[in-house]
Structures are given as C-alpha cells and as structure tokens.
Amino acid sequence: MKILSLYSGGGGIDIGFGKNKFKTVLSIENWDKACLTLKKNTISKNVICEDIRKVDFNNIKNQFKFDCIVGGPPCPPFSKSRFYLKNKKRALEDDDSHTLANYFLAVEKFKPKVFFFENVHGFIFKPHEAALRYFEKQSEKLGYSITHKVINCADYGVPQIRQRFICVGFKKNLGKFIFPNQTHSNQDNDNNLFSLPWVNCKDAIGDLDYPLKEDKDKMAGSKHKHLLKKIPPGDNYLFFTKERGHKKPLFKWRSRYWSFLLKLSPNKPSWTIQASFSNNMGPFHWKNRFLRINEIKRLQTFPDNYEFFGNFSDQWRQIGNAVPPLLADVISKEIKKQLG
C-alpha cells in the first residue's frame, strides 16, 4: 500500500508502517532538519520540504496515487500547555490549526482507502470540542468511517507512558477499523493475566548506561541539581512539598510543570519524552543526569542505527515529537489485517 506521509517529522509513523509492507512514496515536511533526516534514512524517495499550505496537491495528484495517508499534524493548538500561555488561542481559533484543515484537504484530494491520524490526547478535551466535531464531520462528508481512541503507548510495548489520540479512517465500503487489544499493562495496579507487564526503563536502556563526564555548569537540574539528587527515582519536584510530607517544603503544590525535576524509575516505563530539551525539565536518568540521544531513541522505539540530522536539540525535538514506531507498527499491522 502506497503512503502519502504528511507532517512527517523524523519518520516515526513511516518506520512502523514500513514494517507491514506499506511504502512511503511521498513525504511532506516543513522543517529542513527533519527533511534531511527523512532523506538520510531513505524513508521516501520523494521528500517535499515546504509549508503544506504552499504545496500543489493538483500537481502531486498528476504524479502519484496513494492507498493510505498518515500524519500527526503539529499539536500546539490542542496541547494542555497552551492553556498556560498568555495571548494564545486554542483549538480551531488558533492560527496553527490550519494543519488539521490541510490534512483533510489531502484526504479529499487523494481519496485513500485508509488514513491514520495522530495527535496529543488533549484533542478530545472539552475546550477542543469544536476541533473534534470538525474532524468527525469532515470524515463523514468525505465518506470515511472513523474509529478513534486515546492510547497509552505503554499498553502496546513502548517503554514510555505516552498518551496519544489515534484515529483510523476506512472508506465506508471497507468497514470500520477495530483497535487491537492491548498487549501490555501496569500489573502493579491491573492484574491482567492476558497481557505482559509494561516494559521498564532498565530493560529498554539499561545497557546504554556508561560513564560520561558532564560539564558541571550544564548538569541535569540546572540550579536545582542538588535537589535532583535527593528526589527518589520516578518522582519529581512534588517530593519537596508539604502535601507529600516533606519536613522543609521548598515548592508549592502543583506550582510547576509536572516534568520539573522529573526523574525516571528503572522499574517503570519512562515518562513522556517532551519535544524540547531543558536543563531542569525531565525526564532525567535515575542516576541524576541528562538522557542521551541513543537513550531517548530507545524509549521512543526508534532503531539504534536510525540517524537524526541536526544538533543535539534538533535531534531531541524530532524524537520527542515522533509517534513511536512500535505503536505505528502495531496499528498498521491491524489495518493491513482488517483490509485483507
């Protein structure tokens, strides 16, 4: 099945779909660093590095036919963090929400058998209700039956607690997609005898923990690096609050972002890998250091030999923004099975 990949980023969706004999014929991505990554790893022979609003879909239609469209439109308008930014509108009122309209413009133009759409789990929150209704109306108007669900990637073997909105649309004559059963579960809280335990950080990246000198001025935690060392693995700044019983509280309850001084536990999956690297925002390694690129690649289930273009922050952003290839593999395998 031939894929048109929109908002391709670092290629996470394409890697996963590629494992099930889907072939990315054309990738469209706006960021030059990500475009170079796509080319370096030969994700597609054809990469258009351009703002999607400037792409001529009519010209593309004369050259290619697609069975499947995949993409995760940039998510700031639907992100919970948008709520904390002054003078920033949300959902369809945000100028950046054009990415959603252009996704459906491509679906309308190329009429694929199936489309795969990914976004932050906040896509289903009440402030974004208009966006979800728009999504449903456009799918109906264009002749697609859709199934959507908020998925925790850890439930499908990804060593990361990462909740994402996933939607699969089938042309109506092809039926309706059914999500596969989860394969893993948090067996500390859920005694699910029919699934495997979540994959933990030690199993995912334990073999990559080797000594490395760090610049003392750029240690994890920044000016709070002395506090990071006192936080137990799997915890964050809330450890130093009155509500958690600390004798000398240093922070007010929920006064910072959740990821502030957030530390991994070797016995649990990673917390969500964010798109931006920060000196005091985690997750950090349980040994009180920054995670390395090869480690966050593992936590996002990218192959070890997959190369990202750009400096450290550029690579981190591409990895943090990506759909874990393993999740895309699981979903695409089920799409292929159900379409026959």
Q: What is the pLDDT of residues 154-171, one digit of tens each?
A: 999 999 999 999 999 999
Instruction: With a cut of 90, say whether residue 187 has pLDDT above it.
Output: no
**For the chain, domain boundaries:** 2-187+322-339, 213-291
Do 165 and 121 contact (CB within 8 A), yes or no? yes
> Which of 131-135, 243-247, 283-287 shows the lowest per-residue confidence on average (mean pLDDT)?
131-135
Share of residues in the chain with pLDDT > 70 (%): 91
pTM of the model: 0.92
Cβ of 337: how many Cβ atoms within 10 Å?
A: 11
CATH code for residues 2-187+322-339: 3.40.50.150
> pLDDT digits over 41-95, tens only?
999 999 999 999 999 999 999 999 999 999 999 865 555 544 444 555 544 455 5
The radius of gyration of the chain from alpha carbons, rounded to an integer in Å, stands at: 21
pLDDT digits (tens, 9 = 90+) for 197-217: 999 999 999 999 988 776 666
At 244 the pLDDT is 96
Say how far apart CA 196 and CA 28 lie, in whole Å.
Answer: 37
Residue 162 has a pLDDT of 97
Q: Is the dihedral of CA 105, 82, 13, 316 positive or negative?
A: positive
Percent of the chain with pLDDT over 90: 82
Cis peptide before 325 (omega within 30 of 0): no
81-99 per-residue burial string, b: 16 or more CB within 10 A, e: under 16: ebeeeeebebbbebeebbb
**C-alpha span between 13 and 22 (Å, rounded):** 11
Residue 139 has φ and ψ, to the nearest 5°, of -60, -45
One-letter amino acid at 240 equals F
Q: Which of 143, 140, 96 is nearest to 120 (CA)?
A: 96
Place of tokens 């994402």: 164
* Both tokens assigned to 155: 């439930």
For residue 129, the model assigns a pLDDT of 82
14-29 per-position pLDDT tens digit? 999 999 999 999 999 9
Preceding amide of 159 cis, omega within 30: no
Higher local confidence (pLDDT), 250 or 211: 250
For the chain, the average pLDDT equals 92
Return the number of other C-beta atoms located less than 10 Å from residue 304's C-beta.
8
State residue 192's pLDDT score.
Answer: 65
Give dist(CA 284, CA 224) in Å, integer.
13
Indicate whether 194 pLDDT > 80: no
| Arithmetic mean of pLDDT, 141-152 | 97
